[in-house]
Structure 1
Amino acid sequence: MNASILPDIAAQATCQPVSLGWVGMYGIALPLMFHAQRIRASADAGVSLDCGETRGIHMSRLYLALEAFEHQPLTPALIRQVLQGFLDSHEDISTCAYLNLHFELMIQRPALISALAGWKAYPVTLSVKLHQKVFHVELNVEVSYSSTCPCSAALARQLIQQQFVQDFADRPLKHEDLLTWLGSTGGVVATPHSQRSFANLDVRLNEECDTLPIEALIDRAEAALGTAVQTAVKREDEQAFALANGQNLMFCEDAARRLNLAMKTLPWLSAFKLRVTHAESLHAHDAVACSSWNW
């Protein structure tokens, strides 16, 4: 059958004259090229339907425009080109184009002391909008880390002090005995609790930013927190991690403030919001703190 005579019901049918802010598709499977990695991604693609008399958009045109990501490295320029394609293919009915890209960025991380290394997956979402030549890029990243509770550390130290008084009340202090006591479970009777924690970071890139500084954002966040979760480790790495946790006690409020100050130093962002979640090992609920700047 000749394709030119196939019925186009969307064009023929009448509809109520109501414009729609977003029409498109969610969950499109898509390969991306980023930093020499081929990444499996999921895309949400859409446009505004400003012409209320038009029943629907051409979703296949959006889908086909996404093919550009298969062959070129992911950059703000490429994303803008794709969104402009969305609008060009809906010239008479749409003024806004939208795209969300969801993927995991794999980064190899070295161990703290040993020569081992391993891969970590960081969930990433890019949310992009093009409206009347104004181009917005927002980047969301999740970073996992370890947090040790300052309160439980103080309570543990108090119990150790009490045990020390009890064990050495009637004994002379000898270096050898004290060293043995410190290395025994009978001496260090309590330890502080720690938990895996998560920082969810949303940043808006400057218009002048011509790259996607995802790894730089992750590096800055992990440096500010000081106790990023590890990959492959030996005992010396685990000991170094225990030392980092012991010297880096923090409530969720502390973590949020550290990230706030660290992110304000990044020259390529114009706004951010963040949320830290400490998945409590003491309680059955989470401890959460949020912060924002220019958002």
Structure 2
Amino acid sequence: MNALTLPDIAAQTPAHEQALDWVGMQGIALPINLAGQRINARADVGVSLDDGSARGIHMSRLYLALHALEHSALSPATLQQLLGEFLDSHQDLSRQASISLRGEVLLSRPALVSPLAGWKSYPFEVRARQGLWGFHVELQVEVAYSSTCPCSAALARQLIQQRFLEDFAGQPLEHAQLLAWLGSPQGIVATPHSQRSTATLQVRLNQQADELPLIELIDRAEQALGTAVQTAVKRADEQAFALANGQNLMFCEDAARRLHSTLLLQPGLSAFSLRVVHAESLHAHDAVAASAWNWG
């Protein structure tokens, strides 16, 4: 008995010829090597279907080509080579290819004062595209931080002043008495409100970039903001964090301007976009600010 040839339905001509902008797969589980770590990532991959007379693309070829990322450090060069393989495997069908990789990088962060340390998670996404216009890579990362409202700080200080006038009106002041008052709930009657906040940074790398500056972006953002959320802490660290918040009062607009300024100093970028969200502890809604440079 002769073996039958397996049917290739994808090679059949569609009922209505129509080119498609993108065809592919999303949510593919894939281990990648980034920032010196082995990361469990999810990949979206695809190509354009420019030949409208073709029924579909060869998705298995894209899937198998992804295996190359398991063994090499992720970089613009490895991404460009992969997208080139996508297109080579779809000659006469596709002129554009893309990939998106999502995951979380874990970084050990020291406490502010004590010798403690702990792990922090930073969600990221790497997006690369190859087409007639050329090749480009974008990198996105989220950074969590604390933000203390300048307005609430000023209002709290005013309440403390009012209580001071009420408690010491017309009285001679002694150093010990004043020191005790400052350390009591009776004296510090109000505190400013703060909130956990998130900065989302998106950067486009220039053509000369030879690496993905994920760690550099995180470090720059946390240094610019001054109040990155902490991991393991002792009381001395918590006190240092309170001091950092008091010295870095900021509205969402202030945070966005700080990040914009620091991203302008990051080498290897051709464009960037950023968005900060302050999850308000006063309101039931969030405060948001965004900024961009050469983004579009």
Using the size of structure 2 for normalisation, the TM-score is 0.97
Q: Is the 8 A contact 2:49 2:56 kept in 1?
A: yes
Distance 1:173 1:4, change over 3 A: farther
Aligned to 1:186, the other structure's residue is in SS state coil
Aligned to 1:288: 288
- Distance in 2 (CA, whole Å) between partners of 1:232 and 1:95 is 50
Aligned to 2:208: 208
Question: Partner amino acid for 1:205?
Answer: L
- Distance in 2 (CA, whole Å) between partners of 1:2 and 1:87 is 35
Displacement after TM superposition at 1:24 (Å): 0.2
Displacement after TM superposition at 1:75 (Å): 1.2
Question: Partner amino acid for 1:157?
Answer: R
Question: Partner amino acid for 1:109?
Answer: R
Displacement after TM superposition at 1:71 (Å): 1.1
Q: Is the 8 A contact 2:35 2:214 kept in 1?
A: no
Displacement after TM superposition at 1:13 (Å): 4.2
Q: Is the 8 A contact 2:86 2:97 kept in 1?
A: yes
Aligned to 2:81: 81
Aligned to 1:5, the other structure's residue is in SS state coil
Q: Is the 8 A contact 2:100 2:127 kept in 1?
A: yes
Q: Is the 8 A contact 1:106 1:121 kept in 2?
A: yes
| Deviation >2 Å, runs of 4+ | 1-4, 12-15
- Distance in 1 (CA, whole Å) between partners of 2:210 and 2:82 is 15
Aligned to 2:109: 109
Aligned to 1:26: 26
Question: Partner amino acid for 2:274?
Answer: L
Q: What is the Cα-based RMSD across aligned positions, in Å?
A: 1.4
**Residue deviations 1:72-114 (CA, integer Å, cap 9, x gap):** 1111111111111100000110000000000101111111111
Aligned to 1:49: 49
Q: Is the 8 A contact 2:13 2:53 kept in 1?
A: no
- Distance in 1 (CA, whole Å) between partners of 2:164 and 2:102 is 54
- Distance in 1 (CA, whole Å) between partners of 2:294 and 2:279 is 28
| Paired residue total | 295
- Distance in 2 (CA, whole Å) between partners of 1:60 and 1:185 is 67
Aligned to 2:120: 120
Q: Is the 8 A contact 1:15 1:54 kept in 2?
A: no
- Distance in 1 (CA, whole Å) between partners of 2:4 and 2:294 is 51
Using the size of structure 1 for normalisation, the TM-score is 0.98
Aligned to 2:56, the other structure's residue is in SS state coil
Aligned to 1:282, the other structure's residue is in SS state coil
Aligned to 1:101, the other structure's residue is in SS state strand
Displacement after TM superposition at 1:171 (Å): 2.2
Aligned to 2:259: 259
**Residue deviations 1:180-199 (CA, integer Å, cap 9, x gap):** 00000010000000000000
- Distance in 1 (CA, whole Å) between partners of 2:22 and 2:3 is 29
Aligned to 1:173, the other structure's residue is in SS state coil
Aligned to 1:291, the other structure's residue is in SS state strand
Question: Partner amino acid for 2:106?
Answer: M
Displacement after TM superposition at 1:293 (Å): 0.4
After TM superposition, list the pairs within 5 Å mapping 1:1-295 onto structure 2: 5-132=5-132, 134-295=134-295
Displacement after TM superposition at 1:33 (Å): 1.3
- Distance in 2 (CA, whole Å) between partners of 1:292 and 1:161 is 41
Q: Is the 8 A contact 1:22 1:49 kept in 2?
A: yes
Unmatched tracts of structure 1, length 5 or more: none
- Distance in 2 (CA, whole Å) between partners of 1:2 and 1:33 is 47
Q: Is the 8 A contact 2:197 2:276 kept in 1?
A: yes
Displacement after TM superposition at 1:220 (Å): 0.5
Unmatched tracts of structure 2, length 5 or more: none
